[in-house]
Every structure is written in C-alpha cells, then in structure tokens.
Chains A and B, each alone.
Chain A
Amino acid sequence: MSAGHHHRLYLPGDTPVHLLPPQCKLVAVAAFAVAVVATPRERLWAFAVHALLLTVVAAVARVPAGFILRRMVIEVPFVLFAVAIPIIGTGARTEVLGMSLSVPGMWAAWNILAKASLGVVASILLAATTEPRAMLLGAERLRLPPLLVQIASFMLRYMDVILDQMRRMRVARESRAFVARDLRQAPVLARSAGALFIRSYERGERVHLAMLSRGYTGEMPITRDLSASGRDWGMAAVLPCLAAATAVLSWSLT
C-alpha cells in the first residue's frame, strides 16, 4: 500500500514555516488533524475553510502544488476504498448515472476522502518544511520517550542504506528477467528480503561501532539550540486554532 513513498520529502527553504521550531510544527499538525476529524461531515463549507488554511500555509512555505499532489499518491488505496463504499454500502439508495448508490455510503466516502486528504496534506507540508533530523529533535523535546526517538533516528539512518541496497538488488533481479506476477514468486522476493537485511545490517553495524568508539551512548549530542519562544508557539498555533474555531462553528451553526 505504501508504493508511493518518495524519498525526497524535504524541500529546503527559509520561509517562516521552515524556521519554526520542529516541536511547534509537530503539535500544530497533530492538533489540526484532530480539528479536521472533529468537524461534522455535513458541513461542506467547513472543509473548504480547512483546505483554504492549508493552501495558505503551502503558499507561505512555498511548497508547490505539484509536489503536494505527487506525494498524495500515498492515499490511493484508501481513495479506491472510499469510492467503493457507496457501491457496497447499506441504507437508502439513489440513482446516479445509472448506478444504484447508497446515500449513507456516499456521505461516508466523502467523510473519509475529505478528512484523509486534509490530514495527508498537513503531514506532507510538515515533512516538506522540516528536516527529518530536526523532526526527531523536536519529538525529543516533546518528551517522546528517548528510546523511541533513538530507534527512529537509527531507522532514518538505515533507510538510505536499505533503499540503496534495494534498488541495486531490484536491478539485479530484473536484469535477469524476474517479474513478480503471483504468489509463486514470493520466495524469490522473500529471499532477497533476507539478503537485504544482512547486507544492510552489516553496513550499519560498522557505522554504529564507529559511533560507539567515539563515545556515543545512545543520544545524539545536541549542539544546536532548539528552544521555542512564546512567539514561535503563537505562530504555530494559528493554523490549529483557526481549524478548531471552524470545527466549533460548524457544530454550533446548524
């Protein structure tokens, strides 16, 4: 399902959005997602407001629309699912273009599509304006358990190694006319998974040993100042606060 992962997530820049401390952005995006999910699905205008808010953020951060759209491919499996809901859904039915569709099913599909898309775009904007390493430091400042942060930082470090090895192994497989067609090919993929694991581990292990030999004890030394001022928090709060206000309004205006 995750076939759309692109490796280039971060768009370097020095816009106000880029410069916000990562912990503020993490909290802002999570709060925004909650506000979106809490918005009742019948208030179409509220979703338009949410989308407008994200558009403004994207414009300020100078993240091009094409970039966002390309990264939204990640959603495709659930878009397919959402499109299927009105067809297989239960409840009252109506005719649309000669197809019998379930009315609650269409609402549900809209609900999932709208909320998931807004969530996805918010995350894309976060990743596009925050370096992965900074994001981890931000998570650490938010008191995410250090063990999780440590595993995540190793994961990011290994990711390059693994993706690189994977690409090479795929080239090697395909240059020998291998195509994954059905379950019978699974052992081939699985065996390359095993080889991939060992190769990546041994490369990464040597790097880790080098880190240990220079006194690494499990936490990256922080040589950069990452504290957030009240102003930073205030800036970051604009997006979720407006979204929350929209959600509250949409509940109260009937």
Chain B
Amino acid sequence: MTGTGAPPSLRVSRLAYAYPDGTQALFGVDLTIRRGERVALLGPNGAGKTTLVMHLNGILTAGHGTVEVAGLPVRKDTLLEIRRRVGLVFQDPDDQLFMPTVRDDVAFGPANLGVRGDELDRRVRDALTRVGMLDVIDRPPHHLSFGQRRRVAVATVLAMEPEILVLDEPSSNLDPASRRELADILKNLDVTVLMVTHDLPYALELCERSLILSDGVIAADGPTRSLLADADLLAAHRLELPYGFAVPALQQ
C-alpha cells in the first residue's frame, strides 16, 4: 500500500480560499494522502468540504498555499494532466451530466483525453456496466431518477480511469442496495479514494482513515474507528452517528 519514495497521492498545505463574493471558506488546510489509501472527509454543512475538493483537480485555484497531486503541483500549465489523474464526482449529479444522452456524457471525459473509436466505446460500456447502468445508455440523463443519475455521474468519472478518485457525498439519496453496490465498486478499485460524506457508518466501512474538516481547517485526522468512538470530538463538530449505531470496535 505504501509506495516508499514515491510522492503522496495528494498533498495540500496551508490552503486558504475565499469565494469571489468575499466568503472565506478555507483557512489553511493541511493534509497528505498516500498512494492507495481510502480516506473519508467528514464535517458539518458549510465546513468547506466541497470547496476543498474543488481544489484537488484545479477547478478552484488556491488563494494561498499549494496543492500537489502525485508530486505535480496544480497550476495552469499542469491542469490537463491533473484532471487526467484526479476524477471528481460532484455533489449534485445535475451539475455533472450535461450531454444529450448518457452515452455522450460518459464518453465526454475520455474523449477529451484523446480516446477515440473502439477504445472509447469499450470504456463507456465498461464504466456503465460497473455501476449497473448499461441499459440506460441511450437515454437522456435528465430523464433518469436521482439515484440513477448519481450512478451515471460516477460512471462518467470511472470512464476516465483516474489514479485518484474524489467523491463528494456519493451515497446521499441512494437506496440501500445502490449504496451497497457503490461501496463494492469503490472497494474493488485499485485507486486512491477521498470521499466526502455525512454517512459515518459508510465512512467506517470503506475508509480506514478519516479527516474532520470544520470551519475551513482540519480539526482531526486519524483512524476512522477511533475518531468515531470519540463522542466529544463528534459533538464538537456537529457529527452524529445514526440512532442505535455503535462503533463495532467498542463492542468487541
């Protein structure tokens, strides 16, 4: 799991960012994610999670501080390479799907990377098969249900075959079976994963490590198990385990 010597998948240091209207959302974020790790990013509404995630493939540019992806700094001239490496699934699938058909939408990313012809077709079908959406390939995305759109949104990113997968609340609005299937997809991928979520049991199931982002700074960083067992820490950052749920570690 550890690529000794190789640079970490993600390194963010002293990252601060203010939106153009003046709202400052990030106040100096530091984090490092090693190759192959699956990490959960937790935090209350408005903590800056989405804002942070948007910096990881250069959609927002740091107001201060730096972001490095596998040793490559995110800069204007490195953007295409950065976006080849980092796949980002947006919080709202409606923002992610914009082409007339599911097929065009899934093909959009790899086509931008220069993939054409049979290889493009293979990638599209492969990605849709993985999320179980192959049968809607010729339908317009806006006619799908929310959960189906979310799965297609994941497929659009999988088709780009990124090294690092960043997902912003992937499990929200999914029915339990879809939530499970998505977890299986993520577990079987051989890539670094950073997953924003409010779903603490999901984080516990998928990620050994978690970060808590609160008020634009990293407030805690450690094994998911021990973070979730710390009731005071959770309460301080408006995080709650679902009713009746107990961290398995405590029961053992």
Chain A residues with a Cβ under 8 A of chain B: 133, 157, 206-207, 209-217, 221, 223
Q: Which residue of B54, B96, B113 is within 8 Å of A215 (Cβ)? A: B113
Q: Which residue of A133, A157, A207, A215 is within 8 Å of B160 (Cβ)? A: A215
Q: List 27 A-B contacts (CB under 8 A).
A: A157-B98, A207-B98, A209-B54, A209-B59, A210-B90, A210-B98, A211-B108, A212-B59, A212-B83, A213-B57, A213-B83, A213-B90, A214-B109, A214-B156, A214-B157, A215-B80, A215-B109, A215-B113, A215-B160, A217-B80, A217-B112, A221-B107, A221-B108, A223-B104, A223-B107, A223-B111, A223-B120
Residue numbers in A under 8 Å from B98 (CB-CB):
157, 207, 210-211
B108 A213 Cβ-Cβ under 8 A: no
> How many angstroms from the CA of A214 to the CA of B98 in the assembled complex?
12
In the assembled complex, the CB of A164 is this many whole angstroms from the nearest CB of chain B, namely 12
> How many angstroms from the CA of A157 to the CA of B100 in the assembled complex?
11
Residue numbers in B under 8 Å from A212 (CB-CB):
58-59, 83
Residue B92, interface by CB 8 Å = yes
Chain B, residue nearest A133 (CB)? B100
A210 B80 Cβ-Cβ under 8 A: no
> How many angstroms from the CA of A73 to the CA of B13 in the assembled complex?
60
A221 B59 Cβ-Cβ under 8 A: no
Residue numbers in B under 8 Å from A157 (CB-CB):
98
In the assembled complex, the CB of B86 is this many whole angstroms from the nearest CB of chain A, namely 8
> How many angstroms from the CA of A209 to the CA of B90 in the assembled complex?
10
Q: Which of B39-95 contact A (CB under 8 A)?
A: 54, 57-59, 80, 83-84, 88, 90, 92, 95
> How many angstroms from the CA of A133 to the CA of B99 in the assembled complex?
11
> How many angstroms from the CA of A212 to the CA of B112 in the assembled complex?
10
Interface 1/0 per residue, B4-47 and A, CB below 8 Å: 00000000000000000000000000000000000000000000
> How many angstroms from the CA of A103 to the CA of B54 in the assembled complex?
68
Q: Which of B144-192 contact A (CB under 8 A)?
A: 156-157, 160
Q: Which residue of A133, A209, A217, A223 is within 8 Å of B95 (Cβ)? A: A209
Which of A211, A212, A213 has the largest count of B CB atoms less than 10 A from its CB?
A: A213
In the assembled complex, the CB of A210 is this many whole angstroms from the nearest CB of chain B, namely 5
Residue numbers in B under 8 Å from A207 (CB-CB):
95, 98
Residue numbers in B under 8 Å from A216 (CB-CB):
108, 112
Q: Which of B94-153 contact A (CB under 8 A)?
A: 95-96, 98, 100, 104, 107-109, 111-113, 116, 120
A214 B54 Cβ-Cβ under 8 A: no
